[in-house]
Structure 1
Amino acid sequence: MRKAGAMKLFGALAALAAASCAKPQTQPRAPMSQGWTGEQQADWYEATQGSRLIPYAWLAALEQPGNERPFLDDEHMAGFRYLPRTTRGGLRLPVGFALDGQNDERLSRTRLRWKAGQGPEERWVGMNCSACHTAEITHAGQTIRVDGGPTLADFQGFIEALNLSLSQTASDPARWDRFAAAVLKGDDTPRNRTMLRRSFARLRLWQADQLRMNRTPLRYGYGRLDAFGHIYNKVALLASRKGATPNPADAPVSYPFLWNIHQLDHVQYNAVVANAPFDSFLSGATFDIGALGRNTGEVIGVFADVVIPRKKPPLLTGFVSSVDVESLVGLEQQLMRLEPPKWPGAFPAIDERLAAEGEALFKANCASCHLPLSDLTTRVPDRIAFFNDASQPPPKPGEPAQRNSPPLTDPWMACNAYAYQSASGRLRGYRAEYFSGDALPQTANLSAMLSTTVGGALAGAKKDVIAAAASTFAFGDRKPRVFVLPEAEFAPFGVAPRIDPRQARLNRCMTEKSEILGYKARPLTGVWATGPYLHNGSVPNLYQLLLPPERRVAAFRVGTREFEPKHVGYSTDEAAPGNTQVFSTVDAQGRPIPGNSNAGHDYGNGRLTEAQRLALVEYMKKL
């Protein structure tokens, strides 16, 4: 969504809100304090966002592809680098795999019935923020949990395996019999089996549609995801399931770290979403309508059920959705209290003399873009490197024009976010920012369609938006909501066709004007815990990032949690446990892989001596 449009949308919702106001389970052996209580940490892992991927009873009954072991088996889930855990309700679900149990009577895709007398509050499993933003690091026999850090998860592999399991369950009679018996235990009748088969087919068909839309020959590997691509394609399907244009989700990025994001003017690597905080003079708490919009878009991409009506309703009616606004507000407010991780005492001690040398180098060469932070309240202005001069904003009155320094890093995340389009379908005629902006044409930018969908979902939940704002204003932070318990055909990605002429899109991105055609620099507090580096995870450690791009490794192993403290990043040693995948900037023929470039972020790197690079790395351990 465009920043100006997003601000109009969120400003309208904020005005409504203002009118109402006149957090085997393996605990880290070396726990890290980041300012949360144990209860808040558990809420972070378990709270719903309204994400609904699959009914819990179905997921618990599914078997792994090709064998009869449970899909949720710890070893299987850990293979995707999700973190096994036992919930407070006693369920064995990975970190961030959250239950949702809202009333589904007004929903659509997830309003499934598979047994007679079934109620409308069946438990579903989806994901929340922590599935993608919880890191675990090991060193010298110690395990460190970093909340808000980038996961190593292989989301692409997980979804493929889930889809394959669904497909095999539907096609194998013995497998189906075991699945149906487990799901319908106590209610296993011919009628219920028929109902289950029909509902199961509906879920598989939806998964198949998403697979078709997101298909790409590019493998993400561990620790990367094209979240924008998946969100955009989800919006395209919601708008026009038959007419949607598939846009390959082929620009994966490293999962960003979340501490301090409330202090930034804009978030996302391309600075596409504005924060818009309102501080209560009564309670001292913060309600951020911009963050709510951003998180609503995230939930839409990660399995929310959104109902866009065939006929356009009155503007304030909005769209029915499963997005849990009040829980999202609670999660965001808790995130505002998350402290950056400190260099662990279990790691080798920092060389203070060398770090002091690095600090002077950092202040002279890096701090103008990566502004320092000393607390959790200071606001940080934007530092954005644009792809082209046309996108550079005009100088403020009385200030000299800024010289544009293109980032030179892989452009595809920002370029796809700017250039992707699809049939607007049911969204045709809606305004691009829902409450304002131009009407969406027959084929529209997906950035505008996402903005419209987010606006419609929030308008549909306006009572919850107002209630969350009023509660924050009067009583302070909210507690997120935690629930407890009371067919896609798999196809090889390697043969998927390229759908768009990439070069034409790139030419547009390098010449046209847009405030999202660039990448944002941000404070590096806690950066030691956030490798691999660059926005697309193409550089293994901080030392490599300080080399000239042509000297950086073109390929390295990923998948281990073992930390390498000298150069600061995960170990790339082939012998390190879990290093089963190879990230590469080039293919087998030596051709560059779009989306995987490790170029850029070269601000005089070649002028640094070896000693200076090591000093800078040592200092960044302290940030």
Structure 2
Amino acid sequence: MNTKTADSARWIKRWSIIALAVLGIALIAAIVLLRTPDKKPGSITYVDQGASWRQVDREAFYTQDQGSRVIPLAWIRALDGPNGQPFLADGLTRYGYLANPATDTGLPIGFTSSGPLGSEMMGMTCAACHTRDIEVEGQTYRIDGGPAISDFQAFLSDLDAAVAKALATPSAFDAFATKILGAGATEAQKRALRGAVDIWYDRQHTLFTRSFPKEGWGLGRLDAVSMIFNRLTGLDIGTGPNGIIADNIQTADAPVRYPFLWNAARQDFTQWPGFAENGNDLLGLVRNLGEVYGVFAAFSPQPDPHSIFKANFLVGNSANFDGLGLAEGLIKKIGAPRWPWSHDRQSAERGKRIFDLKTAAGGCVECHGIAKGAMRFSLTPTWRTPLLDVGTDTREYAVLARTASTGVLSGTGIPLKRLGPKARQFDILATSVVGSIAQNYWPFHGKLTAAEAMSEAAADTFLKTSLSPIQASLLNAYHLDAEVPAQGDTSGKFRYEARVLEGIWAAAPYLHNGSVPTLADLLKPASQRPVRFEVGRRYDKTAVGLAATQTGLHATRQTTGCDRVDSGNSRCGHEYGTNLTPQQKLDLIEYLKTL
């Protein structure tokens, strides 16, 4: 080999090595990036929630319309907030909602704009209450599907007050109307606007003032079941022009923390008391439709003697059935968030052994492990979700026992659940949700002959014998024991769902009513848990939950003990793991970080 040839070979070899090294470094960097949370420059670190959860899915989840219609967008843009600034000046972040720079509406994550250009309605979607930021050492971490730290009651109360202020005097309304209609608006246009605003205020003011408890739900909590019941039975089924039955609206005094959404579609039951069956897309639609009726979907059912339900549930119904299906598809993609910091592997391995024990010394797996649940017309079985009475706050069961006048729905219903002049609010909701879905998807089942319409038994028989098994399963989507336990009952009937604990580290505060700030506190007897604590975004990586001191938007939560287990704020119950040694508790918590 001559000198030039040798030099050329050495040159090729050297650069080949360099190229391989660069390629290797690139591959290592790619692997690191895949394992590192996605950081948005300058502000937010997106925690790893699985390969199926992409940025395009996240953005769709934040804005997917489901049919909620809170208020015309032009109206809220024209309102003044409590400080005299435009109501939307800060994008509602003062209530804990999260800014959404991907939209040009000025609305935060989970708030939607839908409808014809110039007549858009502001609505809400599940992302408003199920997207969370936590703060550690000055960095913000985003948890999609996590329980929000927001104040829904404060938002609605201020919205109510802002509309009242716009209506208070002729000059105030004229200024409000000019912002919406323009300086050249006619008196007829202003009168029409005034009439529409009066109707909105009459309905919503009635709902808010009768529903909201004086003490307030506080950050990160909402009495969702009461608000769904109150919204539907109080505003939508009256015989008057505004649909109001004011006496149906009762104080919403059983606040619960927002549940996390990852794996929601996989569990056996949903809702804290487990009254909604789960496991296929139809049952998911039932769950989500009930939710959207609670967050201001338009709903005005009318009697119809020729319907098998004796009602038409689709008149004036704004529920976006396609949008609800898309939202459920997005929820299925949200993976449990992975702990984004380091942890002690040896301690976690010891903690796993404690978690997997089937004795009093551990035993978490019996209630919270992944186990096969029911098969409900799906190729994939659910995850078992045991419903257990573990001595926690019972207040929500008082809500489930409430009754109401049925208004225009008297005499309507589904087989074996016909509504009389009064019924449980639960049964009114079940009838409305099931009837809406059945009429939307199977209209050919909806009409009876004149002779059949005369007989409820004929209608029931027709429906039960003509539906497919999957359609028939819809009739049992909501189930509740015939007798809801009364407060003070000691029969063990105050049962709440025990969920699989994947991502539990990101779901503080704990228990269904958010009465325990950290996992470390949950492993203490109720008598030793904090009587009061601060709720906010600052996070404690050691105790796993809310930091003891909070900055920014925060509030103090006052709890009660086991002497007031029906208060809605009791920290009592779920005294499992309380006898573990301090080291065992640390090991168990370390393992829970890895789920």
TM-score range, shorter chain: 0.7 to 0.9
Counterpart of 2:406 in structure 1: which amino acid? S
How many Å separate the matches in 1 of 2:81 and 2:190?
21
Task: Select the residue among 577, 581, 584 that pairs with 1:609.
Answer: 581
Q: 1:265 to 1:505 in 2, by over 3 A?
A: closer
1:36 CA drift (Å)? 2.1
1:185 CA drift (Å)? 2.2
Task: Select the residue among 133, 158, 167 that pairs with 1:170.
Answer: 167
Aligned to 1:107: none
Which has the higher mean CA deviation after the structures are superposed, 229-238 or 170-179?
A: 170-179
Aligned to 1:38: 55
CA contact (8 A) 2:262 2:334 kept: yes
Q: Which runs of 5+ in 2 are unaligned?
A: 1-39, 239-243, 358-362, 373-378, 446-482
CA contact (8 A) 1:318 1:459 kept: no
Task: Select the residue among 409, 420, 428 that pairs with 2:410.
Answer: 428
User: What SS is found at the alignment partner of 2:140?
Assistant: strand
Counterpart of 2:422 in structure 1: which amino acid? T
Task: Select the residue among 582, 586, 589 that pairs with 2:556.
Answer: 582
Q: 1:543 to 1:453 in 2, by over 3 A?
A: same
Task: Select the residue among 65, 71, 80 that pairs with 1:54.
Answer: 71
How many Å separate the matches in 2 of 1:26 and 1:312?
60
How many Å separate the matches in 2 of 1:264 and 1:593?
27
How many Å separate the matches in 1 of 2:192 and 2:162?
20
Q: 1:509 to 1:443 in 2, by over 3 A?
A: farther
1:175 CA drift (Å)? 3.5
Aligned to 2:385: 382
User: What SS is found at the alignment partner of 1:291?
Assistant: helix
The question of 1:555 aligning with 2:540 is answered: no
1:418-449 CA-partner distances (Å, limit 9, x unpaired): x1111111111112xx3x12321221111110
User: What SS is found at the alignment partner of 1:269?
Assistant: coil
1:333 CA drift (Å)? 1.2
State the TM-score, normalizing by the size of structure 2. Answer: 0.78
Aligned to 1:541: 518
1:354-394 CA-partner distances (Å, limit 9, x unpaired): 111111111112011001389x9663123111xxxxxxxxx
How many Å separate the matches in 2 of 1:142 and 1:243?
46
1:137 CA drift (Å)? 1.0
Aligned to 1:283: none
The question of 1:458 aligning with 2:437 is answered: yes
How many Å separate the matches in 2 of 1:214 and 1:26?
42
1:325 CA drift (Å)? 0.5
Task: Select the residue among 207, 228, 234 that pairs with 2:204.
Answer: 207
The question of 1:274 aligning with 2:270 is answered: no
How many Å separate the matches in 2 of 1:243 and 1:134?
33
CA contact (8 A) 2:111 2:128 kept: yes
When Rg is computed on C-alpha atoms for both structures, the one with the higher figure is: 2
1:326-354 CA-partner distances (Å, limit 9, x unpaired): 1101110121111110011xx3x101121
How many Å separate the matches in 2 of 1:437 and 1:69?
53
CA contact (8 A) 2:274 2:496 kept: yes
How many Å separate the matches in 2 of 1:592 and 1:164?
34
Aligned to 1:332: 328
CA contact (8 A) 2:266 2:279 kept: no
CA contact (8 A) 1:323 1:457 kept: no
Structure 1's consecutive aligned runs of 4 or more residues displaced over 6 angstroms after TM superposition are 463-466, 511-514, 590-593
1:416 CA drift (Å)? 1.6
Instruction: Show the 5 A alignment for 1:441-520.
Output: 441-462=420-441, 507=486, 510=489, 517-520=494-497
Q: 1:63 to 1:612 in 2, by over 3 A?
A: same
Q: 1:122 to 1:465 in 2, by over 3 A?
A: farther
How many Å separate the matches in 1 of 2:432 and 2:209?
21
CA contact (8 A) 2:99 2:108 kept: yes
1:466-507 CA-partner distances (Å, limit 9, x unpaired): 9xxxxxxxxxxxxxxxxxxxxxxxxxxxxxxxxxxxxx9863
How many Å separate the matches in 2 of 1:233 and 1:208?
13
Answer 1 or 2: higher relative contact order, Cα 8 Å, separation at least 6.
1
How many Å separate the matches in 2 of 1:257 and 1:132?
10
Aligned to 1:319: 314
Which has the higher mean CA deviation after the structures are superposed, 365-374 or 248-257?
A: 365-374
1:231 CA drift (Å)? 0.4
State the TM-score, normalizing by the size of structure 1. Answer: 0.75
Aligned to 2:339: 343
Q: 1:330 to 1:441 in 2, by over 3 A?
A: same
Q: 1:319 to 1:244 in 2, by over 3 A?
A: farther
1:189-222 CA-partner distances (Å, limit 9, x unpaired): 2221111111111110011221244132342110
Aligned to 2:365: 367
Task: Select the residue among 599, 604, 607 that pairs with 2:572.
Answer: 599
The question of 1:68 aligning with 2:90 is answered: no
CA contact (8 A) 2:393 2:565 kept: no
Instruction: Show the 5 A alignment for 1:138-217.
Output: 138-185=135-182, 188-217=185-214
CA contact (8 A) 2:313 2:432 kept: no
Task: Select the residue among 245, 248, 264 that pairs with 1:245.
Answer: 248
Which has the higher mean CA deviation after the structures are superposed, 606-615 or 235-244?
A: 235-244
1:246 CA drift (Å)? 2.7
Task: Select the residue among 94, 98, 114 that pairs with 1:79.
Answer: 94
How many Å separate the matches in 2 of 1:333 and 1:126?
20
1:172-192 CA-partner distances (Å, limit 9, x unpaired): 444333321111126522221
Q: Percent identity?
A: 33
How many Å separate the matches in 2 of 1:291 and 1:188?
46
1:113-140 CA-partner distances (Å, limit 9, x unpaired): xxxxxx9x82100100100100111111
Aligned to 1:566: 542
Q: 1:465 to 1:93 in 2, by over 3 A?
A: farther
Aligned to 1:411: 394
User: What SS is found at the alignment partner of 2:156?
Assistant: helix
Q: CA RMSD in A?
A: 2.7
1:32 CA drift (Å)? 2.3
Count of residue pairs the alignment pairs up? 496
Counterpart of 2:569 in structure 1: which amino acid? N
Counterpart of 1:61 in structure 2: which amino acid? A
1:581 CA drift (Å)? 1.5
Q: Which runs of 5+ in 1 are unaligned?
A: 1-24, 103-118, 278-287, 386-405, 467-503
1:578 CA drift (Å)? 2.4
Q: 1:168 to 1:592 in 2, by over 3 A?
A: farther
